[in-house]
Structures are given as structure tokens and as C-alpha cells.
Amino acid sequence: MSDERFRVGVDIGGTFTDCVVVSSTGRSLKGKVPTTPEDRSIGFFNSIDSATHGTELTLDAVLRSADWIVHGTTVGTNAIVSLTGARVGLLATAGHGDCLFVANGRGRLPGRAPEQLLDLVQSSSKPAPLVPKTMIAEVPGRIDKDGEVIQPLDEARVASAVRDLVAAGAESIAVSFLWSIRNPSHEQRVQEIVAELAPEMFVCCGADLVKHLGEYERTTAVVMNAYIGPLMVRYISEIEDRARDLGYIGDVLFAQCAGGAISAAEARRAPILTVNSGPVAGVVQSQGFGHQIGESNLITADMGGTTFDVAVVSGASNLTREITELGGYELALPMMDIESVGAGGGSIAWIDDSGRLNVGPQSAGAVPGPACYGRGGTMPTVTDADVVLGIIPTESYLHGDFTIHRNLAEESINALARPLGISLMAAAAGISKIVDAKMADLIQRMTQYRGHDPKDFVMVAFGGAGPVHASRCARDAGLRRVVVPNPVFAPVWSAGGAATADVTRVLLEPLVAQVPDQAGVLQKGFEELEARAAKAFGTEGFNFESTKFERYIRMKYVAQIFDLGIPVPYELHTPESMDRLLADFIEAYLIRFGAGSEDPSGIIQSTGLELRATAMMGEAPSLLRSSSGVSAVPDITRRVYWDELSEVVETRVIKATAGDADLSGPIVGPALIDFPDTVIVVRPRQTATSDSFGNIFIDL
């Protein structure tokens, strides 16, 4: 029997389910199958099976020898976006049951990009309610901002409300009371009452889920948690049961939105933590990849069909944010800070009322998709433009699942070019340039405008369309280099991130303390959080080697409003450590907000603590190994229009039809490197090289 052990990562997206299997012996396998929306667990195991194709392994064999299976899932996200979650009953503080509806008066525009606000501020509506008012029960009981009980909980009213909600068909119950973050006793008592009256009911409480000051965002989080709770509990069981049937004896873990993985038990308790976990896993994978290639300042760029998702990975600040948008709601949830712009391969190019050429944010999606797919789409898209320009080959793309119809792409782009009075090629080049500019603007907003020098950053480009557009948008944003991780794995990058994820808990605690005077309060706060995290890991029964704690303090000038998360990789016992904390804060503040932005009164305080606790499971096998495969296909050429040269040029194309790419020396652009499911574009005057892991570097 082989000693080979595996870690398995599976990422279910809207169109494809990706799998990466990394082995203790150094090999990495990937699988990609269509997502099975009717029962996603089918696609889950199909993807693992697909990864074994062409090897001696089987699905059963992999599962029998797997140490971990980590799953990034969109089940929860999809249920929220498509409003197909459970019928939730909400118990709220008397007088405050409407907080999801009032939404602080800003319920119409969460998550909308600034450029959409002026149009939408008059024309937009609120999202459909996740809980109808008839399923909200207000119960007497009031705690004030100091945590003092002003009015006792009316337990009789709670009991009758629970019975009423159950009778009205509640499938899960959310509890969210004012100031439960200061005193959770009322919420906890309600949870007990629900457990007595409806033992099978999925129930969750606001403060138990997230310690966030602000009842609207906290209530949204707990309601969404209850909304996807029953569905996720079922789903998790299906995956676990089937894995067990196939011989897997370990735990199925779930990728979480703050990075890392959580246990199945935690995912059952707090399924909301799994939303957006796929893109986040990609960022985490990039972080580890950055260490491997010796780069600590990264821009991760994931370009799919609809959006371009960007995260900044830098040692100078933490990566999580407390508030995010989902389904038109704002919710409090520690989530990795990823920003998006509506620019992807499927983004539609169109002419507005003023005769201007626009690209996005509408997308042709997977169905019907770009015109060139020949699936009935007629609207010109970014992918169509790339086909017309000659960048995307017609013979094979996206696993060869689609035949690319150049004539359809031309037809769609021509329909734009004619009214604009420009040539087919000029229109295609224009579409490509506009989408690249949008992406560059987003990167600039996240680097230069936040005080980072873009020249200090390297872009890690993944996702199907990422490598196609990376080299220009990165150049325009002022970055110095693009790295496309081994293009065999770049299209399944998030699954790779899942496969190598560690079990992680992110704990937030609001804590106002003066810096540097209250060092003890901060230190004690962290110690309590660390004890909580360690206890949680212990009760989950993982066999971990050690626990890693990363501390961040959210800090601000007393007089100012916005705070920053400052990493604190040191104890806070000594005056020297507090001096260092102050210096770190001021340095980060000036970088972020610019010279002269600090408050001269100089009083600095903490607003909260964040602890990222990781159960270290031993060194994760690396996804990328020294390349053994060498591209054996001789170079060919393709006629490509290059905007920089204003002409069509017979362009060198390196075909990497299988295995890893070894460029055997620098490639000077213009050039293309074709892979089965993506194309790496080396623009004029850029140079591409590869390393022994099959990663491709483009110097801009």
C-alpha cells in the first residue's frame, strides 16, 4: 500500500466545479467539471474523480488516503442571491424589529460602485426582504450601551413568539437584540427557550456570530446565517456522508470568507462564514504563492466572466474588513477585502445615448455567453474583442468545450464599429483598452489612492481571463511585474487555495482603550481571545501541531472617524512595545491617508481587536512543484492586432498544450503563450520568463 497522502480542495463556482489534489509525494492534480446545480454534491465528487483521470488513482483511492478535504462552496451565497433560503423567524428587541427594513436609510445602494450612485440614487429600490415582517417577533427586554439590563427579558412572550413563528412555518430562527455585544444574556436565554420548544430548529444569535457594534449589520448577518442554515446543514451532511461512503475517514472542512478553513461543525453553526469563500481562497493561495516567489506585496487579480476581483496583499495592514455587501444588504462579517469592478470576459460592449463606447457592467454570463461561443449570444463582449484581435485562438479555448466562432465575434463587434464610424479592429482594440482601463482604475484606487506605491507591487493573475488582460492593466496601473502562476493551475487557483488551507478562526472584539496608556487592557483582551480560539480548536478535536495567533488592533485618532487594522506581532507588556505600536500606527496612517492627515491632538485609541488564529496542521504540500514537463510543440505564429503598434503583426505563439511551460529563455513581446484554457499575453516591449515551477513572469 502506498504511503502517499493527499489534501483535496474543491471549489464550486457558478459554471465549473474545480478540484486540486496535492500529494505528499510532490505531485499535484487538477480536475474541472461542470457544476451540478440540481445537486452540487454530485459535481463535488465528479471533480475529484476528474482530477484522477490519466493517473493510476481513483476517486476512492484518493479519498481513502486523504488527510483533508477543504471545500469552497457557493451554496450559501447562491441561496441568498437567488432568495431560495429558509423561512426565517426573527426575534428582535421590542420596538426595533424593523431594523432590516429601515437599514439606516441606506438600504437601496449597498455595494454599488461610486460610478453607479448618481444614476441609481433616484432609480433603485431596496432588495427583497429576507424575512417578511409577519415573521418578525418583537419581544420585551432591553439592555443599554453599558450592558446593563434596563428591562428584563419577558420569557413568556419569548415562548409564545417562538411557538407562533414555528406555527407560521419558521424553518430557522435568528435572534438579534440591541446591545447583545455588551451583554448576550438575553440572546442566550432565547436560544435555550428555542431549544426547549423546538429542539430540531436551526437557531443562531447575533452576538454569538459576530461582535460588531451596529444592530443593522449584525442582524443582517444573523438572519442570513439562519436563512442558509438548514440548507447548509443538509448539504454538509450530504458531502460528509458520501465521502464516508467512499472510504474517507477524516473531516470535511469548509473554506471561509476571512481566509482559511473551518470545521464542518463550525460551518453548521455559522454557515454564513462560507459565503464568498471561493474568491477568498484564491487570495489566500496567492499569499502563500507570494512567499514562494519571494514577493510580499501582491495585487491578486481574478478575472472571470463577469467581474474583475482585486485584493491587495501587503504586510502593512490586515486584509479583513468588518462590513461587506451581499444580495443588496450590508452585513457584519469578517471577510477578506476583495473589491470588484464589472469587467470580465463576458462584459458587454455597448453604445450609450450619447454615442459613447461603454464596456460592462452588464455581462453575457455563461449563457448565452459571448457571441463567439455560438450559443445564441449576439452582444459583443470583451472575449469577442479578444478573438477579433487575434489574442484568443479559434481552435481551442476553455478546455476545448466551445468552438470559437470568429465570424460571430466579428459580426458582433462590427455592429458596434459601424455606428462609431471606426474599423472592426479599432472597435475591438477599443473595447479591450476600455476594460483594461477600468481594471487599472480599480487597482489604482486600491494601491496609489491608499498610499501604496504601485511599483512596489506584483500582480498575481488568475481566473480564465486574468492572464489575457493582466499585462496591460497592470502596466497602466503602474505595477512592475505580472506573475501568472503555473498556468496549469491558475484556472483552478481557488481550489488550490482550499486544498492548502489551514483551520482558521477570526475573532473580533470591540474594545476602546487609550494607546499607549492602557497596554494591559489590550494585552488581556488578546489573551482572552487566544484562550477562546484555543478552546474552540480543542473542542473541535483537530490533531494540530501548534496554534498560530496573528493579532491586529483597530486604531484611530480619538477625534477622527476611520480606523486602521495594525498588525501586532509582539506582546504588549512593555512601554517599548507600546511605543512601537504607536509608531506603527502613525506610519500606517500616514501611508494610508497621506502626509499631514494625522490629528495634531495626537490622542490615539483602539476601537477593537482582531485575532486570526490558525491551527497549524503541518506544512501544507505545495501546489506547485518543479516543472518536469517541457512544451514540446514548436512555436507557431498568429496574426494579432496590437494597440501599441497600431497594426496587425504576425506574432509568435508558444503553444503549451499540455504540462507546464518552460519558456527556455526570455520571450520578448509581442508574444502569446497559449494554454488549453487561457492565453498569456506578452505585450510589445514586455518580457516574459519562466521559473522551474512553471510560473510565468512578465516584466512590464
Partner 1 sequence: LPVKLPDSSSATFDGIIRSHEVDFSRIAPGPWDGKVQSYIPPQRLRIDPSVQFHEEFTQDLDPVTYEVLRWRFWNINVEHNLTIKRISNNMIVCYMDDYNTWLLTENGDSLLGGPSVQYFTGMADLSVKYTLEHRSIDGGVQDGDVFLHNDPFIASAHQLDVATYAPMYWDGKLFCWIFNAAHQVDLGSPTPGSFVTDAVDIYDEPTPWAPIKLYDRGVRQDATWDAFARQSRMPQSVTLQLRGQVSGINTVKRLMTQVLDEYGPQVVKGVMRRIIADASQAVSSRLLTVPDGRWEESYFVGTAGQLRRVRTVMTKVADQLTLTNDGTDEQGGPGNGTYNSFRSGMLSAGGAQLAWDQMYCPAGVLNHLRFEPVPGLLTTANYPAAVTVVTMSIVSMYHSSQLLSRMLESGPRPLLARVNATGALSSGQASFVSGLNLEGQFAVGLVGDGAVGALGAFGDRDGTDTGGHWWWPRASSGNIEELETSIGPVLFLYRKELPDSGGPGEFRGGNAVTTAFVPHKALTLDHIILGGDPAINTSPGLAGGFPGRTGLWLGSEKLALNGGGDGFRLPATRSEIDQAATLRRIKSNTTASLGLDAVYVNEAGGGAGFGDSIERDPESVLNDILRRQVSVSLAQTLYGVVVSGDVIDLAATDTRRAAIRAERRAKSDEPVMPAPADVVLHEVQPFGYGIALGVTGAGDRMWACRRCSHALTYASLPFRDGCRLWQCLPSEVEGFYVDHREFFPDVGYAFRRWFCPDCSAQLAAEFCLTDDPPANDFQPLAGTKTSATSGGSHE
Q: Are 28 and 624 in contact (CB under 8 A)?
A: yes
Residue 351: Cβ within 10 Å count: 13
Give a three-class secondary structure readout of 46-92: HHHHHHHCCCCCCHHHHHHCEEEEEEECCHHHHHHHCCCCCCEEEEE
Stretch that binds partner 1, among 31-39, 104-112, 491-499, 577-585 (CB under 8 A): 104-112
Residue among 457, 557, 642, 675 that touches partner 1 (CB under 8 A): 557
Residue 436 CB, shortest distance to partner 1, in Å, is 9
Residue 138: Cβ within 10 Å count: 16
Q: Which residues of 50-65 are buried (b: 16+ CB within 10 A; e: fewer)?
A: bbbeeeebebebbbeb
- State the residue for C-alpha cell 516567489: 293
Q: How far apart are CA 539 and CA 526, in angstroms?
A: 20
Give a three-class secondary structure readout of 667-689: EECCEEEECCCCEEEECCCCEEE
Pairing of strands 172-176, 88-93: parallel
Nearer to partner 1, 38 or 353 (CB): 353
Counting contacts by CB under 8 A, is residue 189 touching partner 1? no
Residue among 197, 213, 293, 590 that touches partner 1 (CB under 8 A): 213
Q: Which residues of 415-445 are buried (b: 16+ CB within 10 A; e: fewer)?
A: bbbeeeeeebbbbbbbbbbbbbbbbbbbbbe
**What is the footprint of partner 1 within residues 566-625 (CB under 8 A)?**
592-594, 596-597, 599-601
Q: What is the DSSP letter of 309?
A: E
Residue 529 CB, shortest distance to partner 1, in Å, is 21
- DSSP track, 95-111: T-TTHHHHGGG-TT-TT
Nearer to partner 1, 154 or 295 (CB): 154
Stretch that binds partner 1, among 210-218, 271-279, 525-533, 616-624 (CB under 8 A): 210-218
Residue 627 CB, shortest distance to partner 1, in Å, is 38
For residues 149 to 188, the per-residue mask of contacts with partner 1, x marking binding by CB under 8 A and - elsewhere, is -xxx-x-----------------------xx---------
Q: Among 274, 255, 279, which residue's Cα sits nearest to residue 77?
A: 274
Provide the sign of the torsion angle of the four alpha carbons 78, 79, 80, 81, taken in this order: positive
Residue among 140, 288, 365, 368 that touches partner 1 (CB under 8 A): 140
- DSSP track, 430-462: HHHHHHHHHHHHHHHHHTGGGT--GGG-EEEEE
Residue 540: Cβ within 10 Å count: 17
Residue 281: Cβ within 10 Å count: 31
Residue 692 CB, shortest distance to partner 1, in Å, is 38
Stretch that binds partner 1, among 68-76, 117-125, 223-231, 607-615 (CB under 8 A): 117-125
Residue 49 CB, shortest distance to partner 1, in Å, is 45
Nearer to partner 1, 61 or 149 (CB): 149
Residue among 87, 96, 321, 524 that touches partner 1 (CB under 8 A): 96
Residue among 138, 325, 509, 699 that touches partner 1 (CB under 8 A): 138
Judged by phi (left if over 0) then psi (alpha if -120 to 50, else beta), residue 584 lies in alpha
Residue 75: Cβ within 10 Å count: 21
Nearer to partner 1, 237 or 444 (CB): 444
Q: Are 585 and 598 in contact (CB under 8 A)?
A: no
Residue 488 CB, shortest distance to partner 1, in Å, is 34
Q: How far apart are CA 367 and CA 37, in angstroms?
A: 14
Residue 506 CB, shortest distance to partner 1, in Å, is 21
Counting contacts by CB under 8 A, is residue 105 touching partner 1? yes
Residue among 38, 122, 576, 634 that touches partner 1 (CB under 8 A): 122
Counting contacts by CB under 8 A, is residue 214 touching partner 1? yes
Give a three-class secondary structure readout of 580-626: HHHHHHHHHHHHHHCCCCCCCCCCEEEEEEEEEEEEECCCCCCCCCC
Nearer to partner 1, 132 or 376 (CB): 132
Stretch that binds partner 1, among 308-316, 425-433, 574-582, 687-695 (CB under 8 A): 425-433
Nearer to partner 1, 101 or 570 (CB): 101
Counting contacts by CB under 8 A, is residue 42 touching partner 1? no
Stretch that binds partner 1, among 42-50, 271-279, 429-437, 536-544 (CB under 8 A): 429-437
Residue 189 CB, shortest distance to partner 1, in Å, is 14
Stretch that binds partner 1, among 211-219, 222-230, 321-329, 501-509 (CB under 8 A): 211-219
Nearer to partner 1, 94 or 159 (CB): 94
Residue 505 CB, shortest distance to partner 1, in Å, is 24
**What is the footprint of partner 1 within residues 332-361 (CB under 8 A)?**
352-358
Counting contacts by CB under 8 A, is residue 296 touching partner 1? no
Q: Look up residue 351 and give its amino acid.
A: I
Size of the site for partner 1 (CB under 8 A): 79
Residue among 21, 62, 70, 103 that touches partner 1 (CB under 8 A): 103
Residue among 39, 144, 453, 644 that touches partner 1 (CB under 8 A): 144
Q: How far apart are CA 594 and CA 146, in angstroms?
A: 36
**What is the footprint of partner 1 within residues 435-454 (CB under 8 A)?**
437-438, 441, 444-445, 449
Residue 336 CB, shortest distance to partner 1, in Å, is 21
Grid cell, residue 236, equals 454538509
- State yes or no: cis peptide before 419, omega within 30 of 0: no
Residue among 25, 104, 403, 637 that touches partner 1 (CB under 8 A): 104
For residues 69 to 88, the per-residue mask of contacts with partner 1, x marking binding by CB under 8 A and - elsewhere, is --------------------
